[in-house]
């Protein structure tokens, strides 16, 4: 599974979110390739899941594989959001 964590420039909050996602996946016992990137550069990357903060809802509208979190450092929130997405 390929997961891309995104933010505006792909350097700040997406890197923090990547670490949070990795911790959440570890707790869930799920293996995945997790990367981080700028939201505008994900077109050709074809991730299975995009993880982003709520701030990027408008920019990522229309994509069906996005998991949104409110706080990029909250492992439990991220774990819950990923679990809910994967259950569907």
The two tokens of residue 51 are 């993880």
Choose among 69, 31, 77: nearest CA to 50. 69
Q: Could you say which of 4, 5, 6, 7 is catalytic? A: 7
Q: How far is CA 17 from CA 65, 71, 88, in A?
A: 16, 9, 22
Sheet holding 2-7, edge to edge: 33-38, 2-7, 49-53, 66-69
**DSSP designation for 40:** G
7 is an active site residue: yes
Active-site residue numbers? 7
């Amino acid at each position: 599974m390929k997961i891309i964590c995104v933010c505006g420039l792909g350097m700040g909050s997406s890197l923090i979110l990547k670490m949070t996602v990795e911790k959440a996946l570890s707790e869930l016992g799920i293996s995945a390739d997790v990367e981080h990137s700028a939201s505008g550069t994900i077109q050709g990357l074809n991730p299975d899941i995009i993880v982003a903060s709520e701030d990027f809802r408008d920019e990522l509208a229309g994509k069906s594989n996005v998991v949104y979190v409110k706080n990029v450092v909250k492992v439990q929130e991220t774990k819950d959001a990923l679990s809910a997405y994967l259950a569907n």
